[in-house]
Amino acid sequence: MSLLVPFCRKEDPCAHGTGTCRDNHKPPVSAFIPGFPCVHFVGLIKPSHAISLGKKNYMVRVVTFSADSIERLEQGLQEAQGANPTLGFLFASPYYPLNDVAGVAARAGIPFFGVSTAGEILPKEDEPAFSEHTIAAALLDLDPALFRVSVFPRQDSESSFTLGSRIGKWGCGHFQNPHYIIGLSGFSQDGEAVIKGVQGESPAGTGIFGGIAGDDSRYEATFTFSGSGITTDGAVVLLLDGDRVSVSGTTSSGWEGVGTEMIITSAEGNVVSLINGQPAAEVVKEHLNVTDDEILELGMLFPLIVTRRDGSQVIRTFLQVDRKTGALTFAGTIPQGSRVRFSGSFGFETIQQTIHDLRAFHRDHPDAEFILLVSCMARRRAAGPLVADEILTVTDLWKAPTAGFFSYGEIGPCSATGSDLFNETLSVVLISTRTRKT
């Protein structure tokens, strides 16, 4: 476990009282939890980032750690109490009973944004950038006046759009300039419809970020939770006050379309029945040369690139297959009449394109106090260890504490719609406190 501190003061003694950290800097005694290794990020948070909340100069501190058991999670949260966290993120493999994970979060006494995963992202010095079958935790001491967290189970027969509208009304009831980080659970969820529902109740330009929970590629059940509850069909939402918290982000995919363009000839919402007049599942099986047993797993690696009627493009992958009708349920809407192509295979060039996009985004957005990463599980499956390159590019550029998860869908900025639901994409969310004008 390591508490990543705002900046280093060379005159202070090491946290362990036995020397300096690995960069020959001496962080403050209060900056580290005794018994754990020093981790230092030079210039993580600059003094100029301090803001005034009343009479208090304020900067965000972040504790991150990884647990390999429920007991270790509980121990880690207890040991982090000395940092006075007020908000937590938990990204948990369903290898662990998620009800137990949510129970630990409830006992911790602070709000949590929690999702089940298809892999956990927690890059730290001299450790792997990502893992599986773990629980990744990030704890922030953000002023509680700046955020809210709530779980939204989907009500009986409630549409994804209506769920989004409910989230949007809740958010605007708390802040005039709300920004949302949303985790979605449930395989029938239409992530794009949720986003449109939120947008319909929120001011223009509202930031919407997040992703769809995973379940280690089991495709059985996904979970979203906080200390107040857990659901397998709904959302967990972190609401941030956009007037006092800066939230910005970017998305990058790098996938390219190949082959002949096809037409979605029958679809409703995120359920596609016919492609070029043929059952959608049969078209996918023929193109990929796969069996019924292989279609779901291998279909993730060759998503559809969808061109909408307005000319905008988005990547979509399916999460369910109706064996009787051949219909496919995708993570987001695919309008009837859309033109689609299969994507090519994921390769080195895909990662390099994403790294190029990250560097370009950093030039205009160089500051962050905490970074949330949501990356498609198919990127990890297709690229293997190479996916660490894009994760480590983020930490190298921003030098800020970072955590996240591998998902079944990613929510982030889109030039055409403001925010959108993506697949096979890396979504980067930068969070920092604003300087308030007086």
φ, ψ of residue 90 in degrees (nearest 5): -130, 125
What is the residue whose two structure tokens read 């929690």? Answer: 114
CATH 2.40.10 holds for 257-343: yes
pLDDT tens profile 109-141: 999 999 999 999 999 888 899 999 999 999 999
What is the pLDDT at residue 366?
A: 96
**SS3 letters across 421-433:** EECCCEEEEEEEE
What is each CA distance from 12 to 7, 16, 31, 63, in whole angstroms? 12, 11, 11, 20
| Structural element, H or E, at residue 184 | strand 178-185
Per-residue pLDDT of the chain (438 residues; tens, 9 = 90+): 333 323 232 333 333 333 333 333 333 222 222 332 222 222 222 222 222 222 233 478 999 999 999 999 999 999 999 999 999 999 999 999 999 999 999 999 999 999 999 999 999 888 899 999 999 999 999 999 999 999 999 999 999 999 999 999 999 999 999 999 999 999 999 999 999 999 999 999 999 999 999 999 999 999 999 989 999 999 999 999 999 999 999 999 877 777 789 999 999 999 999 999 999 999 999 998 999 999 988 888 888 999 988 888 888 999 999 999 999 999 999 999 999 999 876 777 888 999 999 999 999 999 999 999 999 998 888 888 889 999 999 999 999 999 999 999 999 998 767 899 999 899 999 999 974 333
Q: What's residue 138's pLDDT?
A: 98
Q: What percent of the chain has pLDDT over 90?
A: 69
pLDDT of residue 92: 98
pLDDT at 418: 87
Residue 4 and residue 15 in contact, taking contact as beta carbons nearer than 8 Å: no
Q: What are the strands, taking DSSP E only, across 269-312?
A: 271-275, 278-279, 304-307
Cα-to-chain-centroid distance, residue 139: 15
The structure's pTM equals 0.82
- pLDDT of 345 reads 67
Q: What is the DSSP string of 112-133?
A: EEEEE-SSEE---TTS-SEESS
pLDDT of residue 7: 27
Per-residue b/e over 332-355, b at no fewer than 16 CB within 10 Å? bbbeeebebbbbeebeeebbebbb
Query: Sheet containing 409-414: which strands, arranged edge to edge?
Result: 147-153, 234-241, 178-185, 208-212, 409-414, 418-422
Please, where in the chain does CATH 2.40.10 lie?
257-343
d(CA 349, CA 352): 5
Structure confidence at residue 19 (pLDDT):
34
The whole-number pLDDT of residue 436 equals 39
